[in-house]
Structure 1
Amino acid sequence: MRGTNASFARMTLPMLAIGMLLLIVIVISSLWLVNHTQNTFEFINGERQIRRTAADLMQNLVDAETGQRGFLLTQDESFLEPYEAALSKIRRNQALIAKLVKDRPAKEKRLQKLDELVAAKMAELASTITLAKSDRVADAIAVVKTEYGRKIMEDIQEILEFFKDKSDENVAIGVSTLSEATNQLQWVTVGGAIAIIVVMGGAIGIITQHVRALSSARREVESLNAGLEERVNERTEDLMRANQEIQRFAYIVTHDLRAPLVNIMGFTAELDASLKALQAYVLADGGTLSEDQIKEARLAAAEDLPEAIDFIRSSTKKMDGLINAILKISRDGRRQLKPERIDLTALIEATSASVHHQIAEGDGEVQVDVRVPFIVTDRFSLEQIFGNLFDNAVKYKQPGRPLTLAVRVLPEGRNMVRIEVEDNGRGIADEDHERIFELFRRSGQQDKSGEGIGLAHVRSLARNLGGEITVRSKMRSGSTFVLRLPSDLARIIRS
């Protein structure tokens, strides 16, 4: 038995180490590719917005000129309405373009010329309208005939066409980069999945072999002569020690997952301390560096490195939170259940009180219909389930619609109770009805904070209580979580 355990440890530890290394490589590669993809996507959107705004600016200039020409020809002031409207749009277009082309040198260096041309065009339009309003229409038309304004419009159009052409080139490059990053992410995912499957297959084979060895040992114990009491006791002790070793082994593996995070967090603290010394050195006056080099060094010391440190720290904190969530679910699974008689009406009202002010603020309401007044189960687990479901209902309510939260408790069969928690929130897509109960998986628009732990925790608690939880939902129509529990958990534990 001891030899079997030692062999099991020797075979599984390298397998787990390989699996952990593969997982770390996959996570790091995926995070890098996702970040690269997101940056490229934002770059493409920026270029498209530049192109859109350039086209809008040109159109608004044409609209302003059209209003001016109409007024000069007819002296009808109704033509000044589109002219005035175009002026305000032109100013907004200029401000937006200035913001969008920042950090794009090829476009930014033409921005001043564009602003000067637009200002000249606006001055030309305003001057002719002023002349026309002063009964000097002939002078205004003479200004138009000089074709000064046409030349300005051609220069403006040339710059804006350059903006659009450059944006088209950048969008094409960005799309190519995005496609390449997507392909790389796909290969990383597929390759990682295959590698993990291989490692899992090896681990399952080792575990199966170990389980067979344990089963063989158990059969050997059962086949011993009843008179050999001492031998039976020895084998029983061996089995108990093997079980304890497996439990300790599982705990060590879980506990050691935190060690890399602690090391990384300690490294960020050291890097932060080193950064302060670097800033004091780089930002000091004097030296042989050029102005550009000093400027770049100061920028790196003052912005780039602190941002990198913050990113590393936030990532490690997030991973630490995920591991803590796994440990929490694991601890809840090992926690000894304490069945007791529970007044469901009182428990539901007490739990809903924690979110009552959030519901009341939006003119919402909580409806409770309890037809099974008492149930024997674990109070702490049931409170955790209701708390998570109520919090989710508040978090994912439909904007602009008062939240209605309804809780119904109904008998189901001889020994079961069905508890329905219904809301009129944003709802869940059909394909996500099962996915939302998986650990670290979320659905729908990711505009709320969270790590995808709550509903996985709820399902774990429900199954620990001998029950199950499912969901019925349609998008924008609300969701109904259906919790089925035994009416007497103590009887099930006894049996």
Structure 2
Amino acid sequence: MAAFLAFVGTAVGASQSLGNLLERDAERSRALHTQTELQQLLRLLIDIETGQRGFIITGQQPFLRPYEEALDDLGRLHTGLRQRLAETGVSTAALQRLDALIEQRLAQIKANIERRLAMGEGVMRDLGAYADGKRVMDELRFEIGELAHEQRQRVTAADLATQQVQQRTTRLMQLLPGAGLVTLALALLLMLRERRLRDRAEQALRNANAGLEQQVAQRTEALSRALARIRSFASELERSIEAERRRLAREVHDQIGQAGTAIKMLVFALRAQLAPRTEPLLDELQTMADEAIRAARQISAALRPPLLDELGLEAALGHYLQTLQRQSGLTTTLALTGAQELAPDQANPLFRITQEACTNVLRHAAATALRVTGHPCLQGGRDGYELEVIDNGRGPGDTRADASGLRGMRERAAMAGGDFDFGPALGGGTRVRVWLPLRTAGQEALDEGEAWV
């Protein structure tokens, strides 16, 4: 009787363990699903942010399409996600904070779009609205990260509870040998039955885990494709900005420069008509015309160096470094080889990164000499082009890795598909290195086709 009762108690405990295993697996599945939806919520918010930013910069309605599509998906996702978060025990205060931040950011974005329609490009000078939007977006990322972290903790707790149930089941099964010879046959039959049940449960768990892993893999692949689309959009946006810079530079040079030249010609004509009399106002007018022509040339060169399009990267960097040396007294050296192998749209990020690096040298390095070198270079078995900016200043010191200048250079290199390094140079000073992969003619045509798509 004691052996029989012991076996019955063991069987009951094992059955309860099976129920606990299934319950914990259901909790784990819900937590993983909720975590995936939180990631999707953040992606939709980023899509809305990207669509709004593209419209504010360009003013073109097609850039609002990602914003409108993501806004529709956000409403449906947010309702179901909020209900699931409440069911998992998330505090009402956390849900209210998330709702308030989402509502606040959507209101800011809607206001920015309305202001863009009303004010035109003038809205881009409102740094306060940009700072408020960034603050709210950072708080949203933090809240979503906290909620995702809580779901990960639930998954970990469910896994730990499953292990404890399995350990408890194993300990109960170890009590069966004490049942005795009288009930040995019955015990063996019941053990075989229990073993089959446990195998089925484990198989069910393995199948469920396999399904969850496949779902996570699919979600990860979808997120990777979304990230690739965002990077493609950012690259296309950068190309659009550079095209607009090129157009503005040409307009400034042609319109203002021609106006200044016309004014000078009028001044010369007036001098000839007034001769031999002199008029001081004509001298002042000629000075203002010269200043207008000089300002037009400076603005045009700052927007888009004409040498970059006409003669390539080496000529543009040479002219820029000569101007830098003349204005600052900094000794500059340029040594580029194989720059003609770069695709036309790769010269611009290299030029902009060099500009930013030289600006940082003037602001922070206290250097007397600066060297820019570039050459084709293999990296990871891929053909590429390496460009370095090295100075003899005080070195990087305690410069933060997320400083705005470094972040901008790193993002430009990433959008071009390359790598960026920042650190001390051999022998002292600071070294900035950027590497971009070289592309064949076929790859350039493929990239252009993807950009149009």
TM-score scaled by structure 2? 0.38
Query: Which structure's residues are more often helix, by fraction?
Result: 2
